[in-house]
Structure 1
């Protein structure tokens, strides 16, 4: 049996929780091993937030040029160079990876970085198959699982053999799709859909749901679909795709049952964006006795501890909201509990998020559906963006703002579908955290003409639901 190298802590996965945790533990004098099978930085850096938003910025520039005449500016028709767009994205991401590599290997002593695949052989013992050959055996009293997720592949006949795209492969296309079919109406599908439509591709979004972003309120979903349809995106909703094929010319055919009967949808490219599944199947969790749910997510308590003493799970690999900022807060929670003597938990923490279409959808707290399910008494205010002075001046008049408040006037939640929607939502989150009431925000002196100024008028429209 190989001799095991002992560490104070082992972190499996170089994601948005694992990297800062390694740094914090090492700075506190702990001997830390960080194991990464793929690229440093996890999903956010490599095929999530950063690369997608970099390419969305190019799509936004395309739109600005395309609509310049509306602002009295003469400009030619924009033509995207997808290869150059991807090269810009790659340069940004490589700089981020290099920064992580430097931080883990040069700027902080006490971290051993291993590239390879980790497998549990016991509760606190791992075997690492190194990428450059050979293996190492490691032990530690504390092990942190931060292995993230990958694109889920639905069990559709012919899909596995069709050479489809996920959010990873589509980021590296060098030629523009003629007709991009997107399976899934969630935020990943919507962001890529608008991006490639603005680049010039024909885009069709296919979903089993009755509306986009099915967990949002109906009026918010309708506003999102109206905007994307105005961009030229086509939708086939309530569509049960049961077969996928691809012919010799590379054309995909999706056969779907719809309320109007069976349909065959054809396109040159297919993006599958129907959800995520955890990267736990190759970890050997059964050898450690670590419990997972029926989907493979690692079960944790409110302190992110698994059922095995000393083993934790952070980030997307455990059940719950899958956002980078939640993963980062997982790190802070564990850091504070282990190093600062606190007793932080995940109970009641806010879950803000943004869909980075244009306009953005910023969300915090409860929506109407959730308030009704919880049988809460609330008032609601909704205001179209076109009534806001800043929107009229900038030409960004699409969308709506919506807030819910309780009987005492405190905010329960907000949906801000507008230009700078994520930033405005964050202001409302700060108000919630600070205990400001709707009266405080309605009467607050806000600079004119700003997007934030809309809050004065928004809260004047509060009414009972129905």
Structure 2
């Protein structure tokens, strides 16, 4: 039987990063993955493939809507080759997952393919082509999450689908109904809207992206409606029925009236659930809470002190970069170091176009906490860079403490917001004030100038270009 200092169950961003950091710290490390490729949901059927399709569909939309204005004439009809688009997406996935294979070999990490199941707190049975048992002093659970569903919806994975199936459709839907106005539903909805589908979003809450700052929700709602999305908030779905190639969705609006939606595909995107199926956690003394999450303490230890859990399987935002931070945190904890994570400074991003990004506290949270704050906001359309690229939608908003001027929250909608949010995280990590940002030189012309202008707006309302 092979013995290890650390064994990790699950090879998503949390698991494989934890494995690399453990190996860097001199710990003999093994990683267990039930699928034939490493990388977990993010690399195989999540972050990476969805961004590949978002980029491809963005190129197509630019070609049919904007190239002429840029002085680019393309003779003949521009057509979508969905088969090639999906194939390119898969090649991106294959290259990326292959990169994880390389990193495991480079760091001398043993990889086991099969379903990892606890025998006890220090032994794991790996059920694959043949059963294998390994021993580990420390174990990290990084088994991730799976798409959630509503109890009355039957997912046939043909017409009533999850995000996994939406990444490999063989045709462009005529009318895609998206149940759920969160990140995944809006991103995949935008992919197929660009390619020619009619898209209807049905959201239970009173706004889309309901966990983010209300100002971001309002702006993105306005932009998506301009893009001809049909958005129905405050609608409670009560039935989904497939009849042949048609899907009928019935929902009650906020007045209690029944509304019927008909389409040829229905994407069910109502969140994700922690995945612990087959783990046999109880055999190791690992406790789950009422939501199916693994309970952990501030050191990310489970109820079994030598077993840790990270990523989507524990509480908190289900984000790949959160899982990565937790993977490093646990590896360094096992090695006897004293790492830390500031969960307030883990950014959230929606990869629609324009992109949406946020870090820190929202206005709603600050108001609820009784914190006095000031707001600096600057519109993207006032930037020369935005006019040059025709990306005029969105804004940057900075929330700062009214007394100390310390930045408490950063919220933005706009081109490259997913990249710009890193500046916000750095600023807040070092507890910068709005004035600090306002006094830093930002290259011109760039989208990042909106951050400086928003900081100026928060500092005695001194924005220069509005």
Question: Which band: TM-score by shorter chain?
Answer: over 0.9
Matched residues in 1 for 2:453 and 2:24: separation?
49
Q: Are positions 1:87 and 2:82 aligned together?
A: no
Q: Are positions 1:22 and 2:56 aligned together?
A: no
Whether the 8 Å contact between 1:18 and 1:146 is mirrored in structure 2 is: yes
The normalised TM-score by structure 1 is 0.93
Matched residues in 1 for 2:443 and 2:123: separation?
58
Q: Can you list the C-alpha shifts for 1:398-448, whole angstroms capped at 9, x where unaligned?
A: 112211001211111111101111222221222222333222222333222
Aligned residue number for residue 9 of structure 2: 12
Return the offset for 1:167: 1.2
Matched residues in 2 for 1:458 and 1:158: separation?
47
Q: Are positions 1:115 and 2:113 aligned together?
A: yes
Matched residues in 2 for 1:440 and 1:90: separation?
44
Identify which of 269, 273, 278 aligns with 1:277.
Answer: 273
Q: Are positions 1:301 and 2:297 aligned together?
A: yes
Aligned residue number for residue 448 of structure 1: 444
Aligned residue number for residue 48 of structure 2: 50
Whether the 8 Å contact between 1:33 and 1:113 is mirrored in structure 2 is: yes
Matched residues in 2 for 1:189 and 1:352: separation?
19
Matched residues in 2 for 1:422 and 1:101: separation?
27
Aligned residue number for residue 99 of structure 1: 99
Q: Can you list the C-alpha shifts for 1:34-80, whole angstroms capped at 9, x where unaligned?
A: 11111311111101111111111111111211222233433465321
Q: Can you list the C-alpha shifts for 1:283-312, whole angstroms capped at 9, x where unaligned?
A: 111122211111111111121111111000
Aligned residue number for residue 78 of structure 1: 78
Q: Can you list the C-alpha shifts for 1:152-182, whole angstroms capped at 9, x where unaligned?
A: 0111255579862111111111211111111
- Pairing of 1:367-378 with structure 2 (within 5 A): 367-378=362-373
Report the RMSD for the aligned CA atoms in angstroms.
2.1
- Pairing of 1:32-181 with structure 2 (within 5 A): 32-38=29-35, 39-65=37-63, 66-75=65-74, 78-104=78-104, 106-109=105-108, 111-130=109-128, 132=129, 134-156=130-152, 158=154, 164-181=160-177
Matched residues in 1 for 2:78 and 2:409: separation?
39
Change (3 A) 1:28 1:378: closer
Matched residues in 2 for 1:440 and 1:267: separation?
51
Change (3 A) 1:349 1:215: closer
Return the offset for 1:100: 1.7
The SS at the match of 1:24 is helix
- Pairing of 1:306-321 with structure 2 (within 5 A): 306-321=302-317
Aligned residue number for residue 459 of structure 1: 455
Matched residues in 1 for 2:113 and 2:178: separation?
34
Matched residues in 1 for 2:112 and 2:168: separation?
26
The SS at the match of 1:9 is strand
- 5+ residue gaps in structure 1? none
Aligned residue number for residue 464 of structure 2: none
Aligned residue number for residue 414 of structure 2: 418
Whether the 8 Å contact between 1:159 and 1:244 is mirrored in structure 2 is: no
Whether the 8 Å contact between 2:157 and 2:165 is mirrored in structure 1 is: no
Matched residues in 2 for 1:99 and 1:463: separation?
45
Aligned residue number for residue 387 of structure 2: 392
The normalised TM-score by structure 2 is 0.93
Matched residues in 1 for 2:440 and 2:22: separation?
43
Change (3 A) 1:411 1:311: same
Matched residues in 1 for 2:27 and 2:216: separation?
48
Matched residues in 2 for 1:61 and 1:92: separation?
16
Identify which of 223, 233, 236 aligns with 1:237.
Answer: 233
Whether the 8 Å contact between 1:118 and 1:129 is mirrored in structure 2 is: yes
The SS at the match of 1:460 is helix
Return the offset for 1:108: 3.1
Change (3 A) 1:161 1:103: closer
Whether the 8 Å contact between 1:54 and 1:89 is mirrored in structure 2 is: yes
Whether the 8 Å contact between 1:404 and 1:411 is mirrored in structure 2 is: yes
Whether the 8 Å contact between 1:158 and 1:243 is mirrored in structure 2 is: no
Whether the 8 Å contact between 2:21 and 2:328 is mirrored in structure 1 is: no
- 5+ residue gaps in structure 2? 462-466
Return the offset for 1:319: 0.8
